[in-house]
Structure formats: structure tokens, C-alpha cells
Amino acid sequence: MRFSLRSVSHCGCRVGTLSCTRAVNDGENKEVETPLCTLYTKKGSAPYLSVDMLKRIEKLPHIANMHLSSLADYTEALNKFQHGVGQFTALQDFLVYISVHDTGIEIPSGYNTKAGTAVWNKAGKKLIEPQQFVKCQEAFRPTFYQALSDSDTDKNSGKKRAMKAVDRTLDFLDTILELHKKSERLRDVGVFGSVEGGFHEEARMRSARETAARNVDGFVIEGFYAQNEKNKQIDVEEIKDLCNKVFKILPEEKPRLMHAVWSPDQVVMALELGIDVFDSCYPWLVTERGGALVFSFQYDNNSENEREARSTDGFEISLKDKRYGTACLRTSEPLYLAALVTPVRILHGPTFTIS
């Protein structure tokens, strides 16, 4: 894969083109413009949306984000299928990116080891070692994937723990790159290295320098939140200074991806920070708690409104609140949304994800 950085605005936003080769489609090349978000999926499917319904939605993201944690148990079946996880899930029209974890789900913290990374699904914990990880990717045949990493750190992690996360991640990356190079199936598949280190500048700088020195196609910026608080909404102000120092080390001609719970205002701030690719689990999380997104696409950067602009109160409403009881859904018949999200009446998820 190849990334072309076309311009950087005065505010720091990067505009570029990501060119990817889809190995399972006879080497078809596809270009997408950045910055962009990915399509959030559950076990390879958009939550609550059938493939037919998905095709009716305009301006969908070009990249589907699937997760190692939910797909690892299907490695044998996908290996026999031989056409990749995109076709297996009927998302062959999308580029496929495989991340290690699902950002929208909190998982137990403290189970990563020097041998591998712990991923979690309904069956429980599964320790994935680098050799097994590469076999999974050979079965999945994605467009690009995030290399195995230890991102289980946060602002409370000590320097020793942060350095251990960096060491483990670099060891995983070296093994994976060596195996990737020998794999015929992964010849046209991109690899993104992870930049770790928690909130410790020395660990972050080392992780950035060492990862940039490897033959990776892009970078995943993570390790700011422990695994048991993954779906905590991100605050870009907390990581801004540290990220700016990291980005001075990373080569400009390679894309930067970041997993987080992105509210609309935080996306704008992250664009100015220089992030190219985002995930999109935030609307799913809002839907799951019976809420709805209500915001305009007008961004006010007036310093007097800075505090209000960073508040999520203006982006989300709870449909369980009777203040939002009456609405019309195309049929012009008044409906009580508060009643719709009551479990005994109807499941709120399918209804309000597609509203």
C-alpha cells in the first residue's frame, strides 16, 4: 500500500490519498482520500444492518474495520474458504482493516504477556502469539492490519510498565514482519506498527523512533487508555502535546491511525493534530445506551465558546427522556420514542442505528 500526502493546512490537518491493493480481487488497486473514518463492524458485519440495507446508505466509509478478537475463532474456516474475510462477510466492496481489539468494548486489563496479546470474545480469553497472529492474517487476507501490540497502559501506568509495553510491541512487530515477508498470501497486505508508551514521553519517543525504523506501512497511535476503559471517550487535549512530539519523529509520508471513542468535536481537534484515519464506534455506543446524535456540521472555534464546543452535551440526547417523546418517521405518524426504547416494546438498537 502507498500513502501520498498532498497538503497540510495551516491548522495542521493533513489531506492525502491512500492507495491499496486488494490481493483477493486479482490485485485490484483502490484509492481513498484521507482523512477518513472506517466502517465499524461486529464479527465482520455492520451492527444491525443487513448487507442489502448497507448498500442503500450513501457515502459509506471505504474501509471496514474488523477485529482480531472477534474473528480469531474463525481462522480455520476462513483458511479453507481461501477468499478472505471481505468476501466471507459479503463486504468484498470494502477495503478491510484488521485491528487487534474492538474499541467499543471494555475488556479485562492485565493479561498481556511477553509471549503474546490477550484478546477477548464471548468464549473468554485467548492469548495470541505472533506466529499464530500471522496465520490468522493469512486466513483473513485483509487490505492491511495492525500488528500485535501491548496497549494496556494509561495515565496511571508507571514508567516501567510503559517501557515493558514498548519492548513487547517491538518484539511482536519484529517477529511479525519477518513472517509477513516470507508469506506469499500477505505479499500485497499492509502492516501498521503501533506506537505505545502510555503518557511517558521517553517511552513514547523510543516507541516512535523504533517503529519508524521498521518497514511498516503506517502507524497506530494507542496506549492512552487501559483495556478495561477502552470505550471511555477520548479527550484530545490530554494527549495533544505528547502526540505533537511523536509526530515530529514519524515520517510524514505514512498514514496515522488512531482508535478511540470520537465525539464530533474531538474528531475536529484530532484532524488538527494530524490524525489521518479514525474508527467509528461512537454512534454504536450512543445507540446501545438508547441515545441519538443531534448536531450540526458547523464548528465554532471561537475561544469564548471553547468550553461549550468541547462538551458532548450538545451532540447526544437520551431517547428514554420523555422530552423527546414525539417524532415523525417518514410515515408522518407521531411516535413516542421513549416507548420504543423500552425493552418490552421493541429493541432500540436496530431502530435507531438506521434512523
Residue 299 pLDDT: 57
Instruction: Decide if 98 contacts 92 (C-beta within 8 A).
Output: no
Residue 177 pLDDT: 98
Neighbours of 262 (CB within 10 A): 24
CA distance 46 to 343: 22
Residue 312 pLDDT: 47
Can you tell me which residue has the cell 477468499? 83
Residue 195 pLDDT: 98
Residue 227 pLDDT: 75
Residue 214 pLDDT: 97
Residue 212 pLDDT: 98
If we measure between CA atoms, which residue out of 106, 104, 155, 146 comes closest to residue 128? Answer: 146
Residue 217 pLDDT: 97
pTM of the shown model: 0.88
Residue 322 pLDDT: 66
Residue 323 pLDDT: 65
Q: Which three cell numbers stand for residue 283?
A: 454512534
CA distance 106 to 313: 23
Q: Which three cell numbers stand for residue 318?
A: 437520551
pLDDT tens over the chain, length 355 residues: 899 999 999 888 999 999 987 666 556 789 999 999 999 999 999 998 888 999 899 889 999 999 999 999 999 999 999 999 999 999 999 999 999 999 988 889 999 999 999 999 888 999 999 999 999 999 999 999 999 999 999 999 999 999 999 999 999 999 999 999 999 999 999 999 999 999 999 999 999 999 999 999 999 999 998 777 766 778 899 999 999 999 999 999 999 999 988 888 888 899 999 999 998 998 888 888 888 888 766 655 554 554 444 444 568 877 777 665 544 444 444 444 444 555 544 455 555 555 5
Q: Which three cell numbers stand for residue 314?
A: 450538545
